[in-house]
Amino acid sequence: MNAPTRSFSRRLLLSRSAAVAGASSAGLLLPQIVRAQGSKVRVGFMLPYTGTYAQLGVAIENGVRMAIAEKGGKLGGREIEWFKVDDESEPSKGVENANKLVQRDKVDILIGTVHSGVQMGIQKVARDSGVLSIIPNAGVLAATRALCAPNVFRTSFSNSQPTMALGKPMMDKGLKKAVWITWKYAAGDEAFEGFKDSYTKAGGTIVKELGLPFPNVEFQALLTEIASLKPDAVACFFAGAAAAKFMKDYAAAGLQGKIPLYGSGFLTEGVLQAAGPAAEGVYSTLHYADSLDTPRNKQFRTAYAGQFKLQPDVYAVQGYDSGQLLVQGLAAVKGDMSNKAALYKALETTVIDSPRGKWSMSKAHNPVQDIYLRVVEKGDNKVLGVAAKALADSGTGCKL
């Protein structure tokens, strides 16, 4: 919704409330008007619409809207009023932006976001305000560990989940010495935790950890260092537009085909066209793959491509599942969000029939899901198999 409409509707609301106050003292009108005003569910998107993660934000919003539209465009029988804030993947504005939705727009549901640092701001606002918050991407561990909350549900992954499945396939190929490279912020550092755990447990050695600040894309010096270290493999976390650049620079540095490149699967999501031949042969682990051969995935992909003239990726799936979760949760309480115990119970126990495969919520409100091993072949993320079955995050420290 744009700003003029919003301020118009707020003015209207204020003048109506003044009228209501007068009328109610005369014992008139109040119940009808209050019920009418409360009838729409206010849903706010806090997502990146600019910067390296912009296309991720758009895919998530598309997915949410599509899932809800498929079920009639309402939540628990109530119409929806949408709100949007561009969080720019800027952690320093996280709290302020979340409050634009929670305090200014008075949303009932906040859907956001992509970037783990920004998520920490949303988490604070969600915990302080009690607003229902759905995390459609950001994997920051604290959100479903030490800072978990009854009103916060994640439909995506925890940062260490995809890489918990990465170490073994590398060792199975005899790649015993690896360099790790990432952006130095929570998503990269926590993806490293999963990689380190799985790779060292399988017997691998991490010879060097390399990093650069988010959203920096000056990879050259680091690639030169990798060439001189000559590891058996490289493993990484990058995502969004920068991931395509990383793969192109890797190939241009002469490393493609010489030192196998592995990644947390975000590396090849939504960027295969942009990366072109540089993505060929990249192995990764993730809770989704385009080529999953199930009727559910095919139906989703056809519908999404038809509607948005874009191929869906993991972000679209996570948005779609956020929409599905809300449809099912609000249906269970017939749209009555004041019945929090029943609403949270429904959100906790519902099974999501996702394009990625069926998944359920852990006690800490994070998906328990299969992780797939994929390889890029002819511009497609081809599934090689399930690398980890029904993988749950540890949920360590969460007291719900």
* Site for ligand PHB, rule CB under 6 A: 114-116, 137-140, 159, 187, 239, 266
Q: How far is the CB of 320 from ligand PHB (least distance, A)?
A: 16
Q: At closest approach, how far in Å is the CB of 137 from ligand PHB?
A: 6
Nearest distance from C-beta of residue 226 to ligand PHB, angstroms: 22
**Rounded least distance, CB 338 to ligand PHB, Å:** 32
Q: State the nearest-atom distance from the C-beta of 125 to ligand PHB, in Å.
A: 17
CB 32 to ligand PHB: min, Å: 45
Nearer to ligand PHB, 100 or 287 (CB): 287
Output 239 or 316, the one with its CB closest to ligand PHB. Answer: 239
Q: How far apart are CA 347 and CA 349, in angstroms?
A: 6
Choose between 102 and 187: whose C-beta lies nearer to ligand PHB: 187
In the sheet that 109-111 helps form, which strands lie side by side, from edge to edge?
80-86, 41-47, 109-111, 132-135, 152-154
Nearer to ligand PHB, 42 or 115 (CB): 115
> Which lies closer to ligand PHB via its Cβ, residue 68 or residue 164?
164
Between 114 and 332, whose beta carbon lies closer to ligand PHB? 114
Question: Closest CB to ligand PHB among 98 and 239?
Answer: 239
CB contact set of 301 (below 8 Å; sequence gap of 6+): 290, 311, 312, 355
Q: What is the four-CA torsion angle of 271, 276, 277, 283, rounded to 10 degrees?
A: 10
In the complex with ligand PHB, the residue whose CB is nearer, 250 or 266, is 266
Q: How far is the CB of 21 from ligand PHB (least distance, A)?
A: 45
Given the complex with ligand PHB, which of 137 and 285 has the nearer CB atom?
Answer: 137
- 58: Cβ–Cβ under 8 A, 6 or more apart, which residues? 47, 49
Least distance between ligand PHB and beta carbon 20 (Å): 43
Torsion on CA atoms 345, 346, 350, 354, rounded to nearest 10: -120
CB of 270 to ligand PHB, least distance (A): 9
